[in-house]
Amino acid sequence: DIVMTQSHKFMSTSVGDRVSITCKASQDVSTAVAWYQQKPGQSPKLLIYSASYRYTGVPDRFTGSGSGTDFTFTISSVQAEDLAVYYCQQHYSTPFTFGSGTKLEIK
Amino acid sequence: QVQLKQSGPGLVQPSQSLSITCTVSGFSLTSYGVHWVRQSPGKGLEWLGVIWSGGSTDYNAAFISRLSISKDNSKSQVFFKMNSLQANDTAIYYCARGDSLLDWGQGTTLTVSS
């Protein structure tokens, strides 16, 4: 199985800051990576698919980049409502696998 | 708009089975696969399996012996069944549309306990 590694379990940031979350795949997954946001008590919500494509209705402060094994998710100007856990996931091959999540904390 | 609505029990006894129905609207099951994912405190998000638009299935090898996914295209329903449940199957179970998990159901919170 492909292992997706998010090296930071927690990240602390302030409103207006730029923050980036990284995700590393254990093997080449091309650009088949998605990023999800999960707020407490809610289902995960797709933000980015195929590494860099923003899903419908997602604000443009959210961006994704990368290919192969290294991927980055960036919030260009953090808002208070961005408090959440962010997960990467590879959809290159089954079993699809997720990173362990990065909890974004707002100072 | 796209919706996935899940129905199923919240409490199951050990060794029993779990059945969840995911009723979809706003898209056709002949156009999108439906994936199943669970979330438990100990193991995070875990992909369980998928029924593809054509009707074939793929399962996580860890669950292949006790998991079954089927669907009824005409009723826009996907059926999830997992057998031989144990306490460590306690989790929230989700259905989701498409390979990038574009949209998710509200989740079914399952507790396995006697």
**Could you report the per-residue pLDDT of A32-66, keeping only the tens digit for each?**
999 999 999 999 999 999 999 999 999 999 999 99
Task: Please name the amino acid found at residue B31.
Answer: S
Structure letter (DSSP) for residue A37: E
Residues of A with CB under 8 A from a CB of B: 34, 36, 43-46, 49-50, 55, 87, 89, 91, 94-98, 100-101
Closest CA to A58 of A91, A42, A81: A81
Q: pLDDT category, B10, cuts 50, 70, 90?
A: confident
Please give, rounded to a whole number of angstroms, the shortest distance from the CA of A44 to a CA of chain B. 7
Structure-token match 């590879």, residue found: A90
Report the mean per-residue pLDDT for chain B: 95
Q: Using an 8 Å CB-CB cutoff, list chain A residues near B107.
A: 43
Query: pLDDT tens across A8-30, in order?
Result: 999 999 999 999 999 999 999 99
CA distance linking residue A35 with residue A46, whole number of Å: 6
Nearest CA in chain A to B105: A43
How is chain B classified by DSSP, letter by letter? --EEEEE--SEE-TT--EEEEEEEESS-TTTS-EEEEEEETTTEEEEEEEE-TTS-EEE-TTTTTTEEEEEEGGGTEEEEEE-S--GGG-EEEEEEETTTT-EE---EEEEE--
B12-33 exposure pattern, b = at least 16 Cβ within 10 A, e = fewer: beeeeebebbbbbeebebeebb
Q: Which of residues 13-72 of B touch A (CB under 8 A)?
A: 35, 44-47, 50, 58, 60-61
- The pair of structure tokens assigned to A11 is 């990240």
Virtual torsion, Cα B54, A90, A62, B33, nearest 10 deg: 10
In this complex, do B101 and A46 lie within 8 Å of one another by their Cβ atoms?
Answer: yes
